[in-house]
């Protein structure tokens, strides 16, 4: 006599024997999730582009021994007009490493110039990386530090935006050439700077003129003014080893291309700072084009780099404002509503 088959056991066995249910197919309208998140907008990144304030008074110990060029004044906002550069950090790091090797070799082989018999050294502080070792944005200055009063912040930005529109400048690409050490106005710091070639339509000079006109309107000195270049420690006329502005462009073509006049030409002053030092470099190494390794890197790598500029940035206190070089025009639509 067969054993009694319990109904609950049979139902479990039947369920185990059933094939697994197939997943419903996705419709064509159902999209898969994106593989990566979209990049953050630049305006969001600008919110976190400045470091938190560490002290309520100037303390050089918090900044590697650097001293503020313009003392802080209550009710005023230190402001700066500039172009932000995002460059190939590996190429620049290789260039900076070559400079450090050249300095180390010089101090190792040079005669002692210290009473104690120990050769003087130069400590180089890189500007290429943030404290978190991420690539730091570099910049091309278009103004000196401007201590704007609270009530002048918005009017200054409006005046600068108006001047940019009147300059008729369009977004442009720029290239680099020349490497040297230059001091600040009181020779308390030295900067390793990378020179910039004059763009085809003289955009750098035109932007500088727009920023200087805004600064002058509010009673501030102009950057790279004709009678102040030596005092600011940035007079690099003829020192880049690159063709001069007059060699790059014929004089009779300047007016047609919207070039600034010779009085306002500052083509030999535009630069990007790669590093700084409190000690002066050896006189033999202030012009670095004669160092073989550096000359090779400049010709093979740096000369191939370019940077695109489409906005002028203004840092007012810790807030960063982006002004379009050429304000975007509203798209015109045709009869059928199509662009």
Please list, in sequence order, all residues whose beta carbon lies within 8 angstroms of the beta carbon of residue 304, skipping any fewer than 6 positions away.
none
CA 109-111-115 angle, 5° bins: 135
CA 288-292-296 angle, 5° bins: 95
Q: Report phi then psi at 314, rounded to 5.
A: -130, 120
Q: Assign residue 158 a region (left: φ > 0; alpha: ψ between -120 and 50; beta: otherwise).
A: alpha
**CA–CA distances in Å: residue 175 to residues 136, 181, 280:** 19, 19, 27
| Alpha carbons 68 and 306: distance in angstroms, whole number | 32
Helical pair 153-166 and 203-217, crossing angle rounded to 10 deg = 140
Active-site position among 63, 76, 125, 139: 139
The total number of residues shown for the chain amounts to 339
| Alpha carbons 132 and 311: distance in angstroms, whole number | 26
* Encoded tokens for 300: 């093979």
Asked about 271 being catalytic, the answer comes back as: yes
What's the helix, strand, coil split of the chain in %, to 5? 30, 20, 50
Active-site position among 80, 249, 271, 321: 271
* Encoded tokens for 90: 């590996």
For residue 231, give the 3-state DSSP assignment.
coil
Neighbours of 249 (CB within 10 A): 18
Please list, in sequence order, all residues whose beta carbon lies within 8 angstroms of the beta carbon of residue 221, skipping any fewer than 6 positions away.
144, 215, 228
Closest of 95, 65, 34 to residue 295, by C-alpha: 95
The residues assigned a catalytic role are 139, 271
């Amino acid at each position: 006599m067969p054993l009694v088959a319990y109904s609950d056991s049979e139902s479990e066995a039947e369920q185990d024997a059933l094939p697994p249910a197939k997943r419903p197919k996705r419709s064509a309208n159902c999209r898969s999730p994106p593989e990566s998140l979209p990049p953050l907008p630049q305006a969001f990144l600008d919110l976190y582009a400045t470091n938190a304030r560490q002290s309520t008074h100037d303390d050089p110990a918090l900044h590697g021994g650097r001293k503020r060029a313009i003392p802080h004044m209550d009710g005023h906002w230190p402001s700066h007009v500039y172009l932000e550069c995002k460059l190939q950090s590996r190429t620049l790091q290789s260039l900076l490493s070559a400079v450090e090797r050249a300095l180390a070799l010089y101090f190792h082989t040079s005669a002692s110039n210290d009473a104690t018999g120990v050769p003087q050294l130069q400590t180089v502080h890189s500007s290429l990386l943030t404290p978190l070792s991420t690539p730091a944005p570099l910049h091309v200055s278009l103004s000196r530090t401007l201590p704007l009063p609270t009530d002048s912040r918005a009017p200054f930005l409006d005046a600068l935006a108006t001047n940019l529109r009147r300059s008729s400048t369009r977004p442009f690409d720029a290239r680099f050439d020349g490497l040297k050490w230059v001091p600040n106005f009181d020779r308390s710091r030295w900067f390793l700077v990378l020179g910039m070639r004059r763009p085809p339509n003289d955009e750098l000079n035109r932007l500088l003129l727009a920023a200087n006109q805004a600064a002058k309107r509010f009673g501030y000195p102009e950057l790279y003014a004709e009678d102040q270049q030596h005092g600011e420690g940035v007079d690099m006329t003829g020192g880049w080893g690159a063709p001069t502005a007059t060699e790059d462009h014929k004089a009779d073509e300047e007016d047609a291309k919207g070039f600034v006049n010779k009085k306002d030409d500052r083509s030999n002053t535009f630069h990007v700072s790669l590093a700084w030092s409190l000690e002066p470099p050896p006189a033999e190494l202030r012009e670095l084009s004669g160092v073989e390794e550096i000359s090779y890197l400049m010709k093979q790598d740096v000369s191939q780099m370019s940077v695109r500029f489409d906005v002028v940035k203004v840092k007012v206190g810790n807030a960063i404002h982006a002004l379009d070089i050429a304000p975007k025009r509203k798209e015109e639509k045709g009869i059928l509503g199509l662009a």
